Amino acid sequence: MTPIRTTCAYCGVGCGIVAMRTGARSVEIKGDPEHPANAGKLCSKGTHLGETVGLEGRLLFPVIGRKRASWDKALDLVARRFRETIAQHGPDSVAFYVSGQLLTEDYYVANKLMKGFIGSANIDTNSRLCMSSAVAGHNRAFGEDVVPASYDDLDAADLIVLVGSNTAWCHPVVYQRIRARCDAGAKLVVIDPRRTETAAEADLHLALRPGSDVALMNGLLAHCRDEGLVDEDFLAAHVETPAEFWETLGEGSDLWSVARICDLAPADLRRFYELFAAHPRTVTMFSQGVNQSIRGTDQVNAILNLHLATARIGKPGSAPFSITGQPNAMGGREVGGLASSLASHMDFAPDNVARVGRFWAAPSMACKPGLKAVDLFRAMGEGRIKALWVMATNPAVSMPDAGRVREALAACPFVVVSDVMEDTDTGRFAHVRLPAAAWGEKDGTVTNSERRVSRQRPIFAAPGETRPDWWIVKEVGRRMGWRTAFAYDRPADIFREHARLSAYQNDGVRLFDLGGKVAIGNHDYDALEPFRWGGDAFADGRFPTPSGKARLVAVRQMDLQDPLPKWPLTLNTGRYRDQWHTMTRTGLSPKLARHREEPLVEVHPLDIEALGLADGGLARVSTPQGESIFRVAASEGQRRGEIFTPIHWTDQQAAGGRTGLLPRPLTDPHSGQPGFKSTPAAIAQVPAEWRGFLLAGGEIERPACLWSVRVAVPSGSLYELAGNGRSEALEALLPKGERVEAIDHSRGTRRIAVMREGKLVAALFVTRTGLLPTRDWLIAQLGQAAGPTLLAGAPPGAREDRGPIVCLCFDVGLKTIVKAIGSQQLTSVEAVGAALSAGTNCGSCRPAIRQLIEENRSQAHAG
């Protein structure tokens, strides 16, 4: 087999991969040493991509209602229903909701169909929830949505400031690059209300009050002005400064006021100011802690202001750096996939509408922005959107106030869902489900955080009747009557058209210009090497505004409300290291499950005490929008009064742990991005009389009880359970076979093993007071010949409990690491690596190991 060079399916770092097919649906994954984004490195998610390429759970043919249908029937139906709806209610009665996980070619065709042919701009994307505030901020400051940084800047920076970014977990390979730079002497400041693994490794962690970033950045800029660090020459030559700018900035910007608003120690704040003053080569990297706020755009501009005013932009090692989340968030911005932009970095100015209309020979151009995601689903709930097509996103889980979004989906007369998986929470609302080709089968391009375009190449043939998203959309376009405009035979056809549009009557007005690629042949497209557009943007001090100058934008800190008596807490939401969004793929990987098996609500230990919760117990988190049950985890990393839940779990894996139901649907006025990071909330303990787990080979139905979470295990199902009343009903879920039972009434313990031909096929363990055995050993016994000792859990002498797995690559548990730190006096990550191999492959767990060393230092020294 020849190795295939492609790009990772997950985050916006955009790591290059070398894939070696090892069977019909198996593949060996390695980092591509020649890809500039990662130089051979991969994180835990990329490393374990091979575990997610099986056909388990895939949607393999079109489905109308509940019945399998032919492509012809399904496509005709979609085209007819959209046509009819438009004829009856006008073009603005239909919408597409798409995703930064589409390839650029898919995205281009969807955007063209909606904005040029259907004649509405009602196409929005999950990127609205992700980086639309960065887009709006860039447009305000630079005149175009251009990220003025590259990863190379990290290698040249002396100070790296991470704002609202858990980089160690969410962009691990970039984080390793940051770490390497810091090991060489650069300073790291992390600004995040939580003490994340990223924050724990910083030279300075500012655990600021949520939503106070503008005050912090404005305070720093005021300090820079007072200390003479503002570059007046640069401002005069390259930046427009509004008359009120400095005056606005001055309000409440003294150190003491800023410290009070941000709830920070003045000494820490001063230290930050000093670090900033001392290191002109600064990269400020930001993501969702900044963007996902009802003042996200102002927060972005506060950061951009700082860099513009100190001329820390357009030079090596100096830049503000919005890091993107999804693999092709950036490609979506390029094609104009947001309802607020048109195409190729053009807005809805009449000239642009006319230009794009000419280029596409479009019969009905959209002339004004369409509905942004939150408004779109609201309009649908009000009956104004009557046909919706969702592609590559799971809004029933990931939208704020997801309960209302579900109601809107249920009320919409016609819902089409293109997905790679058969059963998703959103797919359940679909009238038509279309099977898309997945990562490993798709063919096209993606653009990463630093504007680098890379190829995704197919490793496998598309299985069953799955088709690439671009093909599905163009077929609908053709069936709606636009046969020549959607006559693409291959992704390269679309890429060339996209490149031509970017260059069409551009004349240097827009930096986004792929003019050099308009004539690329099919063969060269196949062989395309990663390249960056826009080069060293802004190095010449020119910005894509009419005056050629960038703009400072006067921004004010919003008033921060005190908590309400009924909702005394603030709910913050985000990601786990080894899960991706709604878990449709990472949820298949037993290895990835081992880092965090359950959705936890992290609470400060003093709050646990004050609120009558129990560490490890269950609690109901509620907000005005909804409620869901999580397992409580004490975390010193939380500020008091603030709790954190993960975004990943869905109806497919859990009863509870449903973060999407909780956030309020309030959005930033400029970008329309929801404020996911801050929702008034309450929490209360949920009593559970028993705990248990159910393990079985193959698939089993999700048990109906108070709390159940599915954990991926090799060739089987494991459910963690908790409930009240009798647990006997669970036995109905056990497969047929010979049962061995052990019941201890005094402890309320029931242990049942189901055997077939002497081999273990299922096990159910429930306890009211006692402990449960560790699952590892039992999982390994599935399908194995097993004796009566089985019901004791692990037999005497079996492997000890290793605790949660920290290093996935070498399968090393937390307890094993802590033990080795103590007994072998290990004081560095390298020493732990030498002793246990942990942390020596992908490196995603190195921050965790460092933290364990830190926490157990005394133990190591005491021997």
Residue 314 touches which member of Mo ion, ligand SF4, ligand MGD, none, C-beta under 5-8 Å by kind: none
Comparison of 130 and 339: residue with beta carbon closer to Mo ion: 130
DSSP 690-723: EEEEEEEES--PPP-SSEEEEEEETTEEEEEEEE
Minimal distance, residue 333 CB to ligand SF4, in Å: 18
**CB atoms < 10 A from the CB of 733, how many?**
17
Comparison of 401 and 776: residue with beta carbon closer to Mo ion: 401
Q: Which helix (H) or strand (E) segment is 135 a member of?
A: helix 132-142
Q: Is 811 left (phi over 0), alpha (psi -120 to 50) or beta?
A: left
Structure-token pair, residue 362? 């479009």
Binding status of residue 10 toward ligand SF4 by CB under 6 A: yes
Minimal distance, residue 739 CB to ligand MGD, in Å: 37
- Position of minimal CB gap to ligand SF4: 46
Binding status of residue 589 toward ligand MGD by CB under 6 A: no
Burial of 91 (0-12, 13-18, 19+ CB in 10 A): buried
Among 6, 35, 36, 45, binds ligand SF4 (CB under 6 A): 45
- Segment 25 to 44, residues that bind ligand SF4, using CB under 6 A: 38, 42-43
- Segment 441 to 460, residues that bind ligand MGD, using CB under 6 A: 442
Comparison of 57 and 737: residue with beta carbon closer to ligand MGD: 57
Q: Which helix (H) or strand (E) segment is 154 a member of?
A: helix 151-156
Comparison of 36 and 357: residue with beta carbon closer to ligand SF4: 36
Among 5, 6, 15, 637, binds ligand SF4 (CB under 6 A): 15
Among 210, 381, 477, 839, binds ligand MGD (CB under 6 A): 210
Strands (E) across 577-626 are located at 600-603, 618-622
- β-pairing, 444-447 with 452-456? antiparallel
CA angle 128–133–137, rounded 5-degree value: 140
Q: Which amino acid belongs to residue 660?
A: G
DSSP 74-130: HHHHHHHHHHHHHHHH-GGGEEEEE-TTS-HHHHHHHHHIIIIII----EEEGGGGT
Minimal distance, residue 788 CB to ligand SF4, in Å: 45
Minimal distance, residue 477 CB to ligand MGD, in Å: 16
Can you tell me the distance from the alpha carbon of 89 to that of 83, in angstroms, rounded to the nearest whole number?
10
Comparison of 169 and 234: residue with beta carbon closer to ligand MGD: 169
Can you tell me the distance from the alpha carbon of 698 to that of 763, in angstroms, rounded to the nearest whole number?
13
Residue 110 touches which member of ligand MGD, ligand SF4, Mo ion, none, C-beta under 5-8 Å by kind: none
Q: Which stretch, 49-57, 185-193, 234-242, 715-723, contacts ligand MGD (CB under 6 A)?
A: 185-193
Minimal distance, residue 451 CB to ligand SF4, in Å: 15
Q: Is 16 left (phi over 0), alpha (psi -120 to 50) or beta?
A: beta
Comparison of 404 and 457: residue with beta carbon closer to ligand SF4: 457
* N-terminal to C-terminal alpha carbon distance within the chain: 51
Minimal distance, residue 323 CB to ligand SF4, in Å: 11
How many amino acids of this chain bind ligand SF4 (CB under 6 A)? 14
Contact mark string toward ligand SF4, 139..178, x via CB under 6 A: --------------------------------xxx-----
Binding status of residue 129 toward ligand MGD by CB under 6 A: yes
Residue 420 touches which member of ligand MGD, ligand SF4, Mo ion, none, C-beta under 5-8 Å by kind: ligand MGD
* Residue 268 vs residues 263, 282, 484, 734: alpha-carbon distances, Å: 11, 18, 62, 57
Hey, what's the torsion of the CAs at 389, 459, 451, 291, to 10 degrees? Answer: 50
Can you tell me the distance from the alpha carbon of 38 to that of 41, in angstroms, rounded to the nearest whole number?
5
Residue 574 touches which member of ligand MGD, Mo ion, ligand SF4, none, C-beta under 5-8 Å by kind: ligand MGD
| 273 Cβ contact list (under 8 Å, min separation 6) | 220, 223, 255
- β-pairing, 642-646 with 627-634? unpaired
Among 119, 143, 193, 847, binds ligand MGD (CB under 6 A): 193
Query: Which residue, chain included where needed, has tokens 């002498």?
Result: 797
Q: Which helix (H) or strand (E) segment is 269 a member of?
A: helix 266-278
Binding status of residue 13 toward ligand SF4 by CB under 6 A: yes
Binding status of residue 130 toward Mo ion by CB under 5 A: yes
Can you tell me the distance from the alpha carbon of 611 to that of 606, in angstroms, rounded to the nearest whole number?
8
Minimal distance, residue 221 CB to ligand MGD, in Å: 16
Q: Which helix (H) or strand (E) segment is 377 a member of?
A: helix 373-381
Q: Which residues bind ligand MGD (CB under 6 A)?
A: 11, 99, 101, 126, 129-130, 163-167, 169-170, 191-194, 196, 210-211, 213, 287-290, 292, 325-326, 391-395, 397-398, 418-421, 424, 436, 438, 442, 469, 572-575, 577, 579-582, 584, 647, 659-660, 663, 676-677
Q: Which residues bind ligand SF4 (CB under 6 A)?
A: 8, 10-11, 13-15, 38, 42-43, 45-46, 171-173
